Amino acid sequence: PRVSAEVAMVVRTFVPNLPDELHISTGEHIRVLSAFDDGWALCANIRNEQGVVPLECLQREGKSSQTEMQLQPESAFGYDNRASKRLSSLAPS
């Protein structure tokens, strides 16, 4: 994972499908703790709850587009099936 400590604004609500994912709502500000090469990031909200969220739901503070938050490899694949795209962000079993 790429380690980061940046703040991002949620531009798209995300409802978790797996226990390690974090519910985020549009307009919320969260800390991006690390970004994974599969298009997901480990984040923490203001209540210090942590979990992974899709990078496509985030916009870095001071940036005009959420695509700037995305890592290059994911943008080629799209996000039509987010759960099946998770690889490096999945916790080991």
Q: Where are the domains of the chain?
A: 2-71
How far apart CA 16 and CA 85 sit, in angstroms, is 14
Residue stretches of the chain with pLDDT short of 50: 64-81, 83-84
- Would you say domain 2-71 falls under CATH 3.40.50.1100? no
Q: Given this model, what pLDDT does residue 61 score?
A: 77
pLDDT at 60: 85
**pTM for the predicted model, two decimal places:** 0.68
Specify the pLDDT at position 4. 60
Say if residue 11 is exposed, middle or buried (CB neighbours under 10 Å; 0-12, 13-18, 19+): middle
Q: Please give the pLDDT value at position 92.
A: 61
pLDDT (0 to 100) of residue 72? 37
